[in-house]
Structure 1
């Protein structure tokens, strides 16, 4: 069973993009656009205090007729952050994300942010696990 640690090790882009809670939403969406990502970890000092996603932006800026120029990240971020550790399995994370309707999970080990995984990262890992299992079963059947 693949763990989050293995997923993080295999990720092409391992950098974790962060933003401060007092930054403007414009700063945040500019960073997301520059990096081609859909979410940022919101950090206050060394502590995860939220996640800001494109979904947050769409629902809390556009639909509520706010502006990106004078709204802070803190005002629209998702602050009830669910995290996992690097020892969690891909299946556990996928189940959690499905049940809670999440697309991103911060990875915390010993109170420190060590990674940020997306549902795409996990689906890729699950597909690789299935491919390996199919190969093993074919070899077993072939003798």
Structure 2
């Protein structure tokens, strides 16, 4: 079973985050420029929240107006559900499904080391399955084996 640490190796080390005192406009611009759907919110103490595209959608629908100068701290999800590098991707899917979330910050020794999305997890599972299928087809057809 694939684990989060293998997914993070594949994704690379890029991790975008934002400070809780940044504005909504700052967050929207960063998310748009970096093409990400969520940002971990980090202050001097570490991870304090997460803000996602869906959060912006919900706050706009509720308020019928979005004050772009408001700070992230007013709207971020404060009770962040996280995972670890040793969690399997299947466990990540289960956590995301049960909690109706699409992004999981990855923590190691109380440090944020990555962020995985449901898209990342599904893509990695499909690629792993495809590799297994190719290996089985090679085995069945005798490709790659000396006779």
TM-score (ref. length: structure 2): 0.88
Query: Is 1:81 aligned to 2:84, yes or no?
Result: no
1:15 aligns with 2:14: yes
- Return the alpha-carbon distance in structure 2 between the equivalents of residues 123 and 15 of structure 1: 19
2:15 and 2:114 in contact (8 A); partners too: yes
**Per-residue deviation, residues 24-73 of structure 1 (Å, max 9, x unmatched):** 11111111111111111101214111110010001013431343333211
Rg larger in structure: 2
2:23–2:72 CA contact under 8 A, matched in 1 = yes
* Equivalent residues, number: 142
Q: Which runs of 5+ in 2 are unaligned?
A: 143-147
Task: Tell me if structure 2 keeps the 8 A contact 1:105–1:116.
Answer: yes
- 1:17 is displaced (CA, Å) by 0.9
Helix, strand or coil for the counterpart of 1:50? strand
- Residue 20 of structure 1 deviates from its aligned partner by 1.1
Question: What is the match of residue 109 of structure 1?
Answer: 108
Q: Which whole-Å deviations, capped at 9, do the CAs of 1:76-118 have from their partners, x for residues lacking one?
A: 1111100000011111101111111111110000111111111
Distance across 2 between alignment mates of 1:43 and 1:10: 24
Spell out structure 1 runs of 4+ moving beyond 6 A. none
Q: Counterpart in 2 of 1:69?
A: 68
| Aligned 1:1-143 pairs, distance under 5 A | 1-12=1-12, 14-142=13-141
> Alpha-carbon deviation of 1:140?
4.4
